[in-house]
């Protein structure tokens, strides 16, 4: 698997989480007694296929990140880099700091990631050249304009994209540099890679891996993680 290529996990925690109504960025808020970002770091630290971890933080939170690492004590090579104004700027800083090989770009605001999910996604990437975790939509979705439904969407063809999103470093770097050079704003890595002509392949995500964007998300995820932990123990 992976042809002995190096695997780097890039945990993107460069945002400020303004919708959380808290002076503390959401990546440092506590979830079941641990900072949100620590959940992802612990996942990749325990995942045997990951060789190194890069944490991307706001420049004014680097010292907090170093203190977190001191308390956390990862076993793998670890680096902290400063993020940028936009998510794609933060990601490209992480990509530039990474070794050649496979990159798993993951949002720190998705603390429900597991080694099993990451392993399955890496297998998809190894077979197809990339992988993006996703979950099928459970809701009926429509296209609408000016508050009026234009057309329903086929629910079987609609997915919610998550992270990790996995690409080869040289391909992702080329895509992100193209976006920067052409002032393209993208919300995730798969968007720019699709614009660059790459077919994007889906890997199985999870409702546990949903993104924290508001205070209620944090409360719901804490319940889900506790329930998941109980099921594992049983």
Write the pLDDT tens digit of every residue in 78-131.
Answer: 999 999 999 999 999 999 999 999 999 999 999 999 999 999 999 999 999 999
What topology is assigned to 2-233 in CATH? Spore Coat Polysaccharide Biosynthesis Protein SpsA; Chain A (3.90.550)
Write the pLDDT tens digit of every residue in 5-49.
Answer: 999 999 999 766 555 566 688 899 999 889 999 999 999 999 999
27: Cα within 13 Å, side-chain hemisphere: 23
pTM (global) more than 0.85: yes
Structure tokens that stand for 100 in this block? 């050649």
126-37-177 Cα angle (round to 5): 55
Is there a cis peptide before residue 84, judged by omega within 30 degrees of 0?
no
């Amino acid at each position: 698997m992976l042809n002995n290529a190096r695997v780097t996990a890039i945990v993107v925690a460069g945002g400020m989480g303004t919708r959380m109504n808290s002076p503390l960025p959401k990546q440092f808020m506590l979830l079941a007694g641990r900072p949100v970002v620590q959940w992802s770091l612990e996942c990749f630290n325990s995942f045997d296929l990951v060789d190194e971890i890069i944490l991307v933080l706001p420049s004014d939170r680097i010292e907090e990140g170093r203190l977190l690492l001191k308390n956390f004590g990862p076993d793998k090579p670890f680096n902290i880099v400063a993020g940028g104004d936009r998510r794609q700027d933060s990601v490209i800083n992480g990509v530039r700091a990474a070794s050649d090989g496979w990159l798993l770009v993951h949002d720190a605001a998705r603390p429900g990631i597991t080694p099993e999910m990451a392993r399955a996604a890496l297998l998809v990437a190894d077979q197809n050249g990339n992988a993006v975790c996703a979950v099928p939509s459970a809701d009926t979705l429509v296209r609408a304009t000016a508050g009026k439904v234009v057309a329903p969407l086929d629910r079987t063809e609609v997915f919610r994209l998550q992270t990790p999103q996995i690409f080869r470093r040289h391909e992702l770097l080329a895509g992100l540099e193209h976006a920067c050079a052409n002032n393209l704003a993208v919300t995730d890595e798969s968007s720019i890679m699709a614009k660059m002509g790459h077919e994007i392949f889906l890997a199985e995500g999870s409702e546990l891996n949903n993104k924290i964007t508001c205070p209620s998300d944090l409360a719901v995820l804490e319940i889900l993680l506790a329930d998941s932990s109980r099921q594992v123990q049983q």
